[in-house]
Structure 1
Amino acid sequence: MSNAIVPTSGVLLGRAKIPGYDHPRIVTIRDGIVYDITDKAGPTVRDICEMAEPASYVTGVEGTRIGAVDAVLANSWSGTFDPAHPALLSPIDLQAVKASGVTFVASLLERVIEEQAKGDKTRADSLREEVLGLIGADLSQIVPGSPAAMQVKEALIARGVWSQYLEVGIGPDAEIFTKGQPMSTVGFGADVGLHPISSWNNPEPEIVLVVASSGQIVGATLGNDVNLRDVEGRSALLLGKAKDNNASGSVGPFVRLFDGEFTLETVKAAELSMRVEGEDGFVLDGHSNMAKISRKPESLVEATIGRHHQYPDGLVLFLGTMFAPVKDRDGPGKGFTHKLGDIVSISTPSLGTLSNRVRLSTECAPWTYGASHLLRDLARAELL
């Protein structure tokens, strides 16, 4: 599988911090060069995604050459960032940041284990064996909400192993939650944050759909839905504390817009790889295929936006993680948890590679630039 940071083809849309401008600039890549395409017709990524044909607009709009993509990517790393040169930001702006959970069997089983362990990672291995024995590992063949799924539900309730995670995993209703506020995500090269109270946590590599206010899916990108297993394991009501912290969600490196070559079907067939590289020499590699998802991506979008709930600035939707890293790190039976300084890289050829360094959320750059700041800066620049 290619580990290129940027796809070799496709219509790419992103945001960058460019010297001389107060506000983020809208960029694309053409023949290995980053171009600034900020225009009054499309001053934000949200505005472009609301167009009838976003990919055609990005392809046709004139741009100003910014620099070679490799140089911009190199300057996007938090440790080497130089404000005198361009750097990538998260490729989304005003969209709501939503996420779906428990959409893959691997993550479903690990959520049940978290719940049973009540946040204690030392109990995970023994509980994993016990839960697999009770539930079995073949839930991937069950269509959520189907009569067969309801029969499994009744059987598991009778055996005393029913869980709120099984409810959203095979029940009729998907888990949809708010990952963070608009403008809160970080991009390629930025630090991602762990809440200091957590001692059991992990990356969650996911594909992220970009959805217009009409409900139309217009593109996709990669995301890391950083998760605190011990916090959510204590209580599902702590989901907000487990998921929404400073720099706890990364997106990027670019949004790839749907066109004749890249479609939702491409997303459904994508194979993702993930690598975690620690300063202690630890390396974890994993890969999985979107074909293993239990709910169709379009059905997850329909559960999020429609007559029951509108998003006038559109949304992005994390589709759920297909990875549950359990490789022992500090000794047999101790499982996986992050260490500060870990580099997490999430890749698929059609979308590129999203890489970030892990730090405490209290040590990551604070989120200070929100929607109000962006709109004021765009108004001053006469782009609104």
Structure 2
Amino acid sequence: MDGSGVFNKGVFLGRVRLAEGGHPRIVTVRDGQVIDITAKAAPTVRDICEMDDPSGYVKSAPGEAVADLDAVLDGKAEGVTLLSPVDLQAVKASGVTFVVSLLERVIEEQAKGDAGRADALRGEILALIGEDLSQLVPGSDAAMAVKAKLVEKGVWSQYLEVGIGPDAEIFTKCQPMASVGHGADVGLHPISTWNNPEPEVALIVSSNGDIVGATLGNDVNLRDVEGRSALLLGKAKDNNASAALGPFIRLFDGGFSLDSVKQMEIVLEVVGQDGFVLTGASSMSQISRTPESLVAAALGSHHQYPDGLALYLGTMFAPVQDRDGAGKGFTHKLGDLVTISTPMLGALVNTVRLSTECAPWTYGPRALMGDLAKAGLL
């Protein structure tokens, strides 16, 4: 993987673990090198993101090179492992923020988790709705008129409610420090037989609601589990290694802002050991709820996050390409290599395993605090 280009143009922030053990190191990228900038003034990514000027701090922070960037990204840097770029932040996600994913959620619900019924249902539901929902502003009078029409037709859904209704869907993707990074395995619950990657942008938000940067994310999804019941959302979304983020946070500065995020196209590629290749893209310009409104739905006077949060923004990409026969749609197979990329953030690459076979999550906030204290950083 080429570490030049994008990583020479922006201000990047991440975390690595060294073979010598101890606390994760806070790193940035300079001149093709991964630089350790861990300091008592900011021993966690959370601390940097809470500053008035995170990018200014990272640009000027003294540090030492720990490895060549390309080697780290390719998993070939001896004794250096790239981690998820967030630590103490809550990890939240937005659902049904694009029309395409909205319709696929309705199909999941109607199919009751049966992938074999989805293809026929897709045509039936699209014909029944008979509306171009892409121009609807959620919660608007026009959206409520469409809702009334759908109720009359008998196809109203909880997914249409959060897709065009007044309230966004915000849920917990995983606990702080449970997300995995670039190069790690991502996990599927063993009970699932119909699942998919979700290529997304995740915003990094401070405790006072300031959006300070962005990274790539894979909001791994179990379509059959959520399709059986939306009350199974936790089982469908929050499993060991089911939340991937990375490779780094790109902090906002003069050359990168929320407007940059709004114009991104997120590209997905899945390459299977069976020779199957799936490609697709998700254009942030097509999102139906603004990133600012999603942050406001998650954090405000109604709900505080003292350590900030990472917020997945949702995806318009819903894979329907047949993999094992006509009408069977897409589902993962173990060993799939998933690459999520965009020119301004690089590429997040992960391999699909069962969640029971991924590395167990054993290093949480208590362990981090203990290691930082031992190092004299607290």
Do the structures match in fold with TM over 0.5? yes
Q: Kindly tell me the number of residue pairs found equivalent between the two proteins.
A: 377
The answer to whether 1:202 aligns with 2:196 is yes
1:377 aligns with 2:374: no
Contact conserved, 2:282 with 2:315, CA < 8 A, in 1? no
Mapping of 1:200-239 within 5 angstroms? 200-239=194-233
RMSD (Å), alpha carbons: 1.4
How far apart are residue 72 of structure 1 and its match? 1.3
Aligned partners of 1:228 and 1:242 also within 8 Å? yes
| Contact preservation (8 Å) 2:239, 2:355 | yes
Residue 34 (structure 1) aligned with residue 34 (structure 2): yes
- Would the aligned equivalents of 1:4 and 1:352 in 2 still touch at CA under 8 Å? no
Per the alignment, residue 73 of structure 1 pairs with: 73
Q: Give the ranges of 4+ consecutive aligned residues of structure 1 lying more than 3 Å apart after TM superposition.
A: 2-8
The alignment status of 1:123 with 2:78, answered yes or no, reads no
Structure 1 position 73, deviation (Å): 1.6
Partner-residue secondary structure (3-state), 1:143: coil
Deviations 1:75-114 (A, max 9, x none): 27xxxxx8x5212100000000000000001100000000
> Are 1:316 and 2:310 an aligned pair?
yes
CA contact (8 A) 1:204 1:323 kept: yes
TM-score (normalizing by structure 1): 0.96
Deviates more, 1:372-381 or 1:6-15: 6-15
- Does the 8 Å CA contact 1:11/1:256 hold for their aligned counterparts? yes
Contact 1:5 1:352 in 2 (8 A): no
Mapping for residues 30-69 of structure 1, pairs under 5 Å: 30-69=30-69
**Which residue number in structure 1 is paired with residue 350 of structure 2?**
356
Q: For 2:100 and 2:5, locate their aligned partners in 1 and report how far apart those are by CA, in whole Å.
A: 27
SS of aligned partner of 2:325:
coil
The answer to whether the 8 Å contact 1:245/1:361 transfers is yes
Amino acid at match of 1:283: V
Describe how 1:219-298 pairs up with structure 2 within 5 A: 219-298=213-292
Q: Which residue of 1 aligns with 2:186?
A: 192
Does structure 2 conserve the Cα–Cα contact (< 8 Å) formed by 1:218 and 1:257?
yes
Equivalent residue letter for 1:346:
I
Distance 2:69 2:231 in 1: 42
Partner amino acid for 1:356?
Answer: N
Name the amino acid aligned to 1:23: H
**Cα distance in structure 2, aligned partners of 1:268 and 1:194:** 30
Give yes or no for contact 1:6–1:253 (8 Å, CA) kept in 2.
Answer: no
Q: Which amino acid aligns with 1:136?
A: G
Q: Which residue is 1:111 aligned to?
A: 105
Q: Work out whether residues 35 and 65 of structure 2, in 8 Å CA contact, stay in contact via their aligned partners in 1.
A: yes
Deviations 1:147-178 (A, max 9, x none): 00000000110111100000000000000000
> Cα gap change, 1:27/1:3 in structure 2, threshold over 3 Å: closer, same or farther?
closer
**Counterpart code for 2:67:** G
Matched residues in 2 for 1:65 and 1:21: separation?
Answer: 17
Work out whether residues 4 and 32 of structure 2, in 8 Å CA contact, stay in contact via their aligned partners in 1. no
Find the aligned partners of 1:5 and 1:131 in 2 and give their Cα distance. Answer: 44
Aligned counterparts of 1:42 and 1:332: Cα–Cα separation in 2: 54
CA shift for structure 1 position 288: 2.6
Indicate the SS of the match to 2:47: helix
In the TM superposition, what is the alpha-carbon distance from 1:6 to its structure 2 partner?
5.7
Task: Give CA-to-partner distance per residue, 1:314-343, whole Å, 9 cap, x none.
Answer: 000000012100000011111000000000
Distance 1:122 1:36, change over 3 A: same
Alignment partners' CA distance in 2, 1:312 and 1:88? 25
Matched residue of 2:9: which SS? coil
Contact 1:17 1:88 in 2 (8 A): yes
Provide the rounded CA distance (Å) in 2 between the counterparts of 1:353 and 1:8.
15
Residue 216 of structure 1 and its aligned partner are, at CA, apart by 0.3
- Residue 3 of structure 1: how far off its partner (Å): 10
Question: Quick one: distance in 2 between partners of 1:103 and 1:302?
Answer: 14
Q: Secondary structure of the residue that 2:248 maps to in structure 1? A: strand
